Amino acid sequence: MTEVDITADGPSKGEFRDVMGRFASGVTVITTRIDGEDLGAAASAVSSLSDEPPSLLICLNVTSTTAQAIVKTGAFAVNVLAEDSAPIAQRFASKAPDKFASIAFERGRTGAPLISGSIAHFECVVDETVRGGTHYVFLARVVNVASTPGNPLAYFRGSFGRMETAPDAAALHAVRDYVVGTVSDVAVPLDAESIAAELEIEVGRSYQALVALVGEGLVRRTGATFEVEPVPDQVIFDYYAAKLAIEIGAAAQTVGSLDTEQLAELRRLLEVTLAHSVDGQFGDPAGWIRANAAFHEYLVSLAGSTILMETYKGLRLPAMEQRSISQSTRATGQLHEDHRTIVEGYEAGDVELVLRTLTAHARRPQETRAAAASAS
């Protein structure tokens, strides 16, 4: 067995608190009642202990009047705060003389206050009290519970905030498709319940997906309200970078190995894109998007990998472009020239030419936006 040198210096108080602060936890308010007075303290040190019998433990500083009262009463309640309850958490983390002033609550079985708006309540009676350093550790049986829908308030590195959960992958894809491809009016709010009903997914997963899309820059969030955002340039550039990586991989495998029919189909798809004028402006944005998508998807399909093709289509680039390209969008005839050069490179078996042109082609949106910005 490996021996540990327990005589070595441990972390300082500041180091310990800094590193522990990186552990995100939920926020609760521990409440009790003694001699006709309601007491409460904010706490994140709450943990399930057993489910038979239902038990939990909490830790409170020995100097806390709430902790001292629990030692005497042997009863308390744990109120799990909702994500919009940061003011309540701050109030009970302070030394305010009357923390319950203006706080709505009900009286629980043990007499402890149950704070309204909390997403969960645990009413407890103490089985054992242990002194651990600067804190009391109360081991308690749960005698009553209640819960309501909602998301918890989180505590991380000294700050309160929302605790976001990862959305179901399938739900995230479905909601992203809905936001990118279906919703076109940036002034229309996004309703998680309506989206869930239309996509036949759970409301909670719809909500979590919208939260995730806020991080992607596709959705704006104000409080509990979500709205479609105009697609940020950086989001578009990131999508095109992913597109380029896939196309380069496919081209590296296929240039120089296509048969006559495949080369003919590639040239046919090129001619379709040439039918859409993009010199200065997109005359037919929808037509260009369809033709351009067909051309590039065919390039990827030549690799013969179903997984690669599904990954490429999963970028939903045509839907993204519907949000970002209109008749007023600046365009360049260089897009046509890139397509011609790519096809010529495939026909000549010149892989370096194809890779170089694909790379330049992926930069066109960024170059066009930079030119538009400098001209305005």
* Average pLDDT of every residue of the chain: 84
- How far, in whole angstroms, is CA 51 from its chain's centroid? 32
Tokens of 181: 């491809």
Q: Tell me the CATH number for domain 233-375.
A: 1.20.120.530
Q: Distance between CA atoms of 153 and 89, rounded to whole angstroms?
A: 9
- Using the predicted structure, report yes or no on whether residue 319 has a pLDDT greater than 90: no
**How do residues 192-235 score in pLDDT, each as one tens digit?**
899 999 998 888 888 888 888 887 777 888 777 888 866 667 77
Q: Distance between CA atoms of 263 and 247, rounded to whole angstroms?
A: 16
**How do residues 59-99 score in pLDDT, each as one tens digit?**
999 999 999 999 999 999 999 998 888 899 999 998 888 89
Opening angle at CA 91, ends 81 and 159, nearest 5: 65
Query: How far is the CA of 88 from the CAs of 33, 58, 78, 84, 104, in angstroms?
Result: 18, 19, 14, 9, 10
- Which are the contacts of 40, defined by CB distance < 8 A and separation ≥ 6? 29, 30, 31, 32, 66, 92, 99, 100, 113, 115
Closest CA to 225 of 168, 252, 187, 257: 187
- How far, in whole angstroms, is CA 58 from its chain's centroid? 30
pLDDT band at 259 (very low <50, low <70, confident <90, very high): very high
- Which are the contacts of 340, defined by CB distance < 8 A and separation ≥ 6? 270, 274
Tell me if domain 20-161 and domain 169-228 are identical in fold. no
Closest CA to 28 of 45, 9, 50: 45
- Using the predicted structure, report yes or no on whether residue 22 has a pLDDT greater than 60: no
According to the CATH classification, is domain 169-228 in 1.10.10.10?
A: yes
| Range with the poorest average pLDDT among 128-142, 185-199, 275-289 | 275-289
| Range with the poorest average pLDDT among 73-82, 145-154, 290-299 | 145-154
User: Strand ranges (DSSP E) for 317-367?
Assistant: 330-331
Q: Distance between CA atoms of 106 and 230, rounded to whole angstroms?
A: 45
From 3.40.50.1100, 1.25.40.10, 2.30.110.10, 3.40.50.2300, which CATH number describes the 20-161 domain? Answer: 2.30.110.10
Question: Which range, 116-130, 190-204, 324-338, is most confident?
Answer: 116-130
- How far, in whole angstroms, is CA 123 from its chain's centroid? 33
Tokens of 266: 């590639």
Predicted local distance difference test score (pLDDT) of residue 301:
95
pLDDT band at 1 (very low <50, low <70, confident <90, very high): very low
User: Strand ranges (DSSP E) for the chain?
Assistant: 25-26, 28-34, 37-43, 46-51, 54-61, 75-80, 105-107, 113-115, 120-132, 135-147, 153-156, 159-162, 189-190, 219-222, 225-228, 280-281, 330-331
| Range with the poorest average pLDDT among 101-115, 122-136, 213-227 | 213-227
Predicted local distance difference test score (pLDDT) of residue 287:
85
Domain boundaries, the chain: 20-161, 169-228, 233-375
Predicted local distance difference test score (pLDDT) of residue 302:
95
Mean pLDDT confidence for 321-338: 74
**How do residues 353-366 score in pLDDT, each as one tens digit?**
999 999 999 888 77
- Using the predicted structure, report yes or no on whether residue 268 has a pLDDT greater than 90: yes
Predicted local distance difference test score (pLDDT) of residue 256:
95
- Rg of the chain taking only CA atoms, in angstroms: 30
